[in-house]
Structure 1
Amino acid sequence: MRKTKILCTLGPATESAAVISTLITKGADILRLNMSHASHDWVRMVYGRVREAAVNAGREIAVLMDLTGPSIRTGDVEQPWQLKVGDEVEFRCTPDFQPTKQYSCTVNYPELGKDLKPGDIILIDGGMIQVKATAVTPKYVLGTVLTQGEMKSRRHINLPGVDVRLPPLTKKDYADLDLGVELGVDYFALSFAREPGHIQHLNLLLEQKGSKARVIAKIENQQALKNIDTLVEASGGIMIARGDLGSECPIEDLPLIQRQIVERCSFHGRKVIVATQMLESMIENPVPTRAEVTDIFNAVIEQVDCVMLSGETSVGRYPDKCVEILDNVIRRIEDKYPSGRFASDAPLKTNKHKTVKAAILLANSIPGSKLLVFTLRGVMAHLLAHQRPEFAPIFAFTPKLHVSRALVSARGVQPYVMEFAEGQPDKSIRDAIAMLYQHGLVKQGDPLVILSDALYDGTNVDAILLQEA
């Protein structure tokens, strides 16, 4: 069983029911709706197709809605600017300020002139154009071009090292959030999360709306890196958004930052997703580069929970081939490098943590063992995943659909929805083993390490049971 999960972004190349079914068949575990490029009508259509395809495939598939989040962008320009080194550019922060330079445009962030200081670097369009701020006022910012390039309308701006005062959600995000709650998506990704209060705000909104969805914080700038521990603790998981991070940070630091975030997620027991350019060349080509395969290798041996495809599956020419190659590469790596590198990082805070650790030590010492966990809220199953068992797969059984879908993204966990036999734990265990037999996941004589929090004299008792299938 493949442990590292695959997250695919849907788009024009993958919106049809047939292609969605193919992605699931090839190995996609989670499907992403990128609200930066999706209308509500499109989302409704595609979401229905995902749920139908998952039922037809007999698999539990999770859906992640990626909220656009607040971003700083330039306004419209009549004709693309052909900027040269030394040219002066003017960014207007207030609508009443009139252009004073040849290259002058508005920005959608009125606080730009309050957050910047002379000498700060402004990166435009992912860093393709770099501008150094020379004069900063509340109404406008003047800068000198450091790298030549063409600038078009509504280009994204990064401000490396600058703490901005953008709100956690925009008006569009609130509307998209309502749609996601209505449909029943399983995860919301919060773009440009910078402090734990942003995640807490979104969690409170979801609670008020009656949603069980988990919040994934996207780490995209230096401000987030300063607060990484508190962001990890506040979230249900972290997405390492290497696109914006690569613009915000020195490029030579990016692999170190990825490793740091993975380790902090391991320590705090949170999921981690590596995103951006995993198979970028396959947007146009039928085979990946050797460097991309090595990038996948590094993510897998770091024991991340998920790897994500963006443009490769949303607009690429070979979306199903991307998933197939990713699946094959991950399986090969996991087969050859199964060791639990970060297993000891997470502290044993409670008796439940200690029970899980004991179960994993038992499973690791018995060749061919499988871990079975019965869970109502998913806590024990998530703890098992975070401790990274060396060899044993984790089969999680829960009577709650939203818990099962929350577990889809956890490394090494295969969740199943199953009603528990009330007051008959033995029957629940037999039913679970029968389900695994039916799927060909266990055979007679396989050692099973079984975890549950059984009710004994009115008290929940964490229990470990060892038996053969």
Structure 2
Amino acid sequence: MRFTKIVCTLGPASKTREQIRQLHESGMNIARLNMSHGTLEGHRQTIGILREMNAASAAAHPPRPCIGILMDLQGAEIRTHDVKEPQRITKGEEVVFSFSEQADEKRQVVRVNHTAFVQDVRGTDRILIDNGELTFDIVSVDPATGIVIARAGQDGMIGSRRHVNLPGATIDLPSITGKDWKDIEFGIAEGVDFIGLSFIRQASDVRQVRDFVKKMQSHVSIISKIETRQAVEDIAAIIDASDGIMVARGDLGAEVPFEQVPAIQDEIVTLSRDAGKPVIVATHMLESMIHFPMPTRAEATDVAHAATTLTDATMLSGETASGKFPVPALEAMDRVLRATEEHMRSLVPRNVAVVRTEREARAQAAVSLTQTDHASALVVMTRTGRTGREVSKFRPRVPVIAFTVDRAVQCQLQLSYGVIPLYLSFSQDPEETVRSGLAVAKEMGFLHTGDRVVLISDAPAHDRHISSIQVRLIE
């Protein structure tokens, strides 16, 4: 099996039931909905397809893995306005950027959606389009007219709703916008499993959303996207406040010097793992496969490097959302991850995370026991998913088969490294629950007669149940 999970962004190239089914069968663990694009009704239809597929997977005999749903908020970002036709830009051309319409302007005008753009742009000397696909050097700023004149560094095209970066500038926008709050309500009502917070700057942004989610009586997981300079500076507190982290390298690479991005990525992965929080490495991983059927060798190496850091997941964005080869892109990422994991199994020792609690000490002991006892799997019974994530933190070399009585927890565990989450009705008798779970795992082909497994489960002790670590032989 593949231990590193894959997140696929859904979009025009992957919105039908058949297209989503192909991605699922090819290894998609989490489906990502990008709220920067599309309509609420369109996203509702996609969620409906995913829920129907999950229901069918649960009813199958034996049951099939579920798909987790990640709803990624737009966040406080600057974008260009909608245009009928993409604007063709020529290197060296002076272009006008403005929030307002400039009817008398003879030069090309690129309109943006941010009212304070002319004020905020004074904090930088460059404007980047789509994370640097086009760059502009600022020539002049006129607050009186709201006009910013900038010189193009390359030839290119600017279409509708393209992302605009002002490297190093502080953007005068709330971290969570009015649209975001509406989308959060929508996501909770539709039962998504994860909400991705875009362009957050500090841990207080995450806590603000956490308070709102609690008021809505939701248990949705909060994934904080690290893509601003301020977020990097407050990373430890943000990790502590979040349920998971995404290293969004596209915008991050436009906010900080690009040569610093690899080190920042590795540091965030390590800090997230030590905290026991799932972490996703995202953006531009197989970017060329938007247009071509094979990745570049550099892209394959990039995916492999993420796997060597033992990240929980890697993500495909435009490759599956709008590219020409969504399924081949997923298959390519799957192949690279599997090959890298196979190579890493021969390497010792493994990078070990820090033990912080008594529960984590038990989880680490169970992982160590799988190695000394040559176990084929580690089996856990978990109602909230906590035990599954604690075991995953220590990156076992064998699959973690996590049984849960909660279908939402099952889908959320799809993001955790090495975890195979399965639904199981729990009995009042812990031993009966264990026997049922092992039978299901055997029926699904995850366990076989003669296998040894390490089990974390409740066990009877006088008048109560205690948590135990056991070794079982599959009969």
163-172 or 252-261: bigger deviation: 163-172
Look up the match of 1:388.
Answer: 395
Measure the CA separation in 1 of the matches of 2:83 and 2:325: 34
Look up the match of 2:77.
Answer: 71
2:118–2:148 Cα contact (<8 Å) kept: no
CA change 1:209–1:336 in 2 (3 A) is same
- RMSD, aligned α-carbons: 2.9
1:161 aligns to 2:168 (yes or no): yes
Distance apart, 1:151 and its partner CA: 6.7
Distance apart, 1:30 and its partner CA: 0.8
1:77–1:105 Cα contact (<8 Å) kept: no
Look up the match of 1:426.
Answer: 431
Look up the match of 1:332.
Answer: 339
Look up the match of 2:192.
Answer: 185
State the TM-score, normalizing by the size of structure 1. Answer: 0.89
| Identity within the alignment, % | 36
**SS at the partner of 1:42?**
helix
Which residue type is aligned with residue 434 of structure 2? I
For residues 321-358 of structure 1, give each alpha carbon's deviation from its aligned partner in whole angstroms, at most 9, with x where no partner exists: 22222222222221221258774233x22210111111
Measure the CA separation in 2 of the matches of 1:16 and 1:151: 29
Measure the CA separation in 1 of the matches of 2:455 and 2:139: 61
State the TM-score, normalizing by the size of structure 2. Answer: 0.88
Measure the CA separation in 2 of the matches of 1:229 and 1:90: 36
Measure the CA separation in 1 of the matches of 2:425 and 2:209: 31
Measure the CA separation in 1 of the matches of 2:360 and 2:348: 17
1:350 aligns to 2:357 (yes or no): yes
Which residue type is aligned with residue 353 of structure 2? D
For residues 21-61 of structure 1, give each alpha carbon's deviation from its aligned partner in whole angstroms, at most 9, with x where no partner exists: 11111111111111112212222222222222234342211
Measure the CA separation in 2 of the matches of 1:330 and 1:82: 38
Look up the match of 1:33.
Answer: 33
For residues 257-307 of structure 1, give each alpha carbon's deviation from its aligned partner in whole angstroms, at most 9, with x where no partner exists: 211211121222211111122222222222222222212211111111111
Distance apart, 1:214 and its partner CA: 0.4
Distance apart, 1:197 and its partner CA: 1.4
**SS at the partner of 1:216?**
strand
Look up the match of 2:54.
Answer: 54
Aligned residue pairs: how many? 464
**SS at the partner of 1:334?**
helix
Which residue type is aligned with residue 268 of structure 1? A
Look up the match of 2:416.
Answer: 410
- Counterpart of 2:300 (choices 279, 285, 293) is 293
Measure the CA separation in 1 of the matches of 2:205 and 2:2: 33
Distance apart, 1:163 and its partner CA: 2.8
357-366 or 168-177: bigger deviation: 168-177
Measure the CA separation in 1 of the matches of 2:288 and 2:157: 24
Measure the CA separation in 1 of the matches of 2:131 and 2:120: 20
326-335 or 52-61: bigger deviation: 52-61
**SS at the partner of 1:14?**
coil
Which residue type is aligned with residue 56 of structure 1? A
Measure the CA separation in 2 of the matches of 1:66 and 1:137: 33
1:118–1:134 Cα contact (<8 Å) kept: no
1:162–1:223 Cα contact (<8 Å) kept: no
Measure the CA separation in 2 of the matches of 1:101 and 1:193: 37
Look up the match of 1:45.
Answer: 45
CA change 1:277–1:100 in 2 (3 A) is closer
2:127–2:164 Cα contact (<8 Å) kept: yes
**SS at the partner of 2:398?**
coil
- Counterpart of 1:449 (choices 438, 451, 454) is 454
2:97–2:112 Cα contact (<8 Å) kept: no
119-128 or 309-318: bigger deviation: 119-128
Look up the match of 1:126.
Answer: 131
Question: For 1:368-387, what aligned pairs fall within 5 Å after superposition?
Answer: 368-387=375-394
Measure the CA separation in 2 of the matches of 1:326 and 1:246: 22
Look up the match of 2:61.
Answer: none
Look up the match of 2:470.
Answer: 465
Which residue type is aligned with residue 325 of structure 2? Y
Measure the CA separation in 1 of the matches of 2:462 and 2:117: 62
For residues 66-118 of structure 1, give each alpha carbon's deviation from its aligned partner in whole angstroms, at most 9, with x where no partner exists: 111121234578994746548474645xx699989956665433444554546
Distance apart, 1:124 and its partner CA: 3.5
Look up the match of 1:17.
Answer: 17
Measure the CA separation in 1 of the matches of 2:457 and 2:191: 28
